[in-house]
Structure 1
């Protein structure tokens, strides 16, 4: 049995098991060791296509190394890579780095926007009588923000961020329901499981994610991409949320313009009513 100290070092685990790798596993090993920086930001589907092996083969590879799966492996790999950096590399210019990352996230997300896909999603949401947003963790924060924005223009909408409540809500959906699923990786099991239920009920699925190829996008009718891929150690970062909120702002603005007069009337009414809450 491998020592506990090596358990969290993917490079050592791979070297220790290299002699027992199959042909496919050797291909995975060579790809990962040659593309570590990219692998940290991959989804399982992207890694599968890059290595030209099945996702099931990848999962068996990681379990052979005593990891629970790809996310567990990526987290350990990110820790190992982070430990190689010096404190000066990490902290000397963090103020500028955070600024640059945020600006870059918006620029990159702008470059990824498919105007036609955005227009289709906006019309789908604007015309739907029942719209539900699913998000968990940091993506749940984005879901709540989107709910707040659309409620202000009179849209009948609900954000659900608890996995168990999501299952119950998905079970009662119909063909008139539009689900907006927000997930950075598109691989969050709770979200994917719930979307499978919603899909079976006939709901239309719009995915907001950073990965074009993932378990979530396989289920989605429409996919809108943001660009702020995060390493496992940066999960939930504000930079990722900035990219999500930028796209959400575009969607909400588009929905407002679709029903401009009604939206403006509702915004004025809400402003008048909320003003009564102020001294």
Structure 2
């Protein structure tokens, strides 16, 4: 397969043809290589490789590599993107979102809680809710004295975000408020049978495997949880915007 749209190979020098044949035979490797790697493997000079790049009509070596990546459709360079769809959520997710939206709409206080990467979602969700006029805040410290803070408040909704729903620090944090009648707990979790979901009054669940490396580092996708947070915000905004 000819990789370059070059009409007349007979005009190429012997060195150019050597580089051409090497790249043509090793296109899947070349997209990872440097100029000097190609030069060394093709037994030519670095300057010869760059002259060949320009002769092929590219302004730079990275531009040529991008071209090779596209035409060879190299799948291992970037894993296929998996976008969430209905299969990531239970069939009654719309009803659950409406119920939780009603809770949030009537709440005097909304607190979003998460630790680690879920803490970033908590901060984001709290900021977005505040932007549309709700009294919202985030907590990312599992040792935060939430019980003391809630002593002079009522009608609070605590949105707790955890993919596994089993993190001991998260469960310990909830133990202090689970019996508080003025607090409704909503779990956003990837495990509907987790202790977090069972401790909560309501749960917004999704399907996403818990993926960790070195035990502590959570690489699980946060897209489903983010989608649910976004859905709540947009439903609430549509209600107050009427």
Using structure 2 for the length normalisation, give the TM-score. 0.62
2: CA distance between counterparts of 1:160 and 1:94? 38
- Alignment partner of 1:164: what SS? coil
2: CA distance between counterparts of 1:170 and 1:177? 12
Alignment size in residue pairs:
164
- Alignment partner of 2:159: what SS? strand
Structure 1 residue aligned with 2:237: 256
Q: 1:175 to 1:230 in 2, by over 3 A?
A: same
Q: Which of the pair has the greater relative contact order for Cα pairs under 8 Å at 6+ separation?
A: 1
- 1:103-125 Cα offsets, whole Å, 9 max, x none, are 1x344335555211110001101
Q: Does structure 2 retain, via aligned residues, the 8 Å contact 1:170–1:195? A: no
RMSD: 2.2
Q: Which runs of 5+ in 2 are unaligned?
A: 1-74
- Alignment partner of 2:143: what SS? helix
Q: 1:199 to 1:121 in 2, by over 3 A?
A: same
Rg larger for: 2
Q: Does structure 2 retain, via aligned residues, the 8 Å contact 1:210–1:228? A: yes
Are 1:244 and 2:221 matched, yes or no?
no
- Alignment partner of 2:111: what SS? strand
Shift of 1:218: 1.2
Shift of 1:136: 0.2
- Shifted more, 146-155 versus 171-180: the winner is 171-180
Q: Does structure 1 retain, via aligned residues, the 8 Å contact 2:185–2:201? A: yes
Q: Does structure 2 retain, via aligned residues, the 8 Å contact 1:170–1:194? A: no
2: CA distance between counterparts of 1:169 and 1:258? 29
Structure 2 residue aligned with 1:135: 114
Within the candidate set 71, 79, 84, 1:96 is matched to: 79
Are 1:205 and 2:182 matched, yes or no?
no
2: CA distance between counterparts of 1:251 and 1:187? 24
Using structure 1 for the length normalisation, give the TM-score. 0.54
Q: Which runs of 5+ in 1 are unaligned?
A: 1-91, 262-279
Q: Does structure 2 retain, via aligned residues, the 8 Å contact 1:112–1:225? A: no
Structure 1 runs, 4 residues or longer, greater than 4 Å off: 110-113
Shift of 1:170: 3.5
Structure 1 residue aligned with 2:59: none
1: CA distance between counterparts of 2:91 and 2:117? 22
1:99-248 correspondence to structure 2 within 5 Å: 99-100=81-82, 103=83, 105-110=84-89, 112=91, 114-165=93-144, 168-173=145-150, 175-202=154-181, 203-233=183-213, 235-237=217-219, 240-248=221-229
- Alignment partner of 1:185: what SS? coil
2: CA distance between counterparts of 1:137 and 1:109? 22
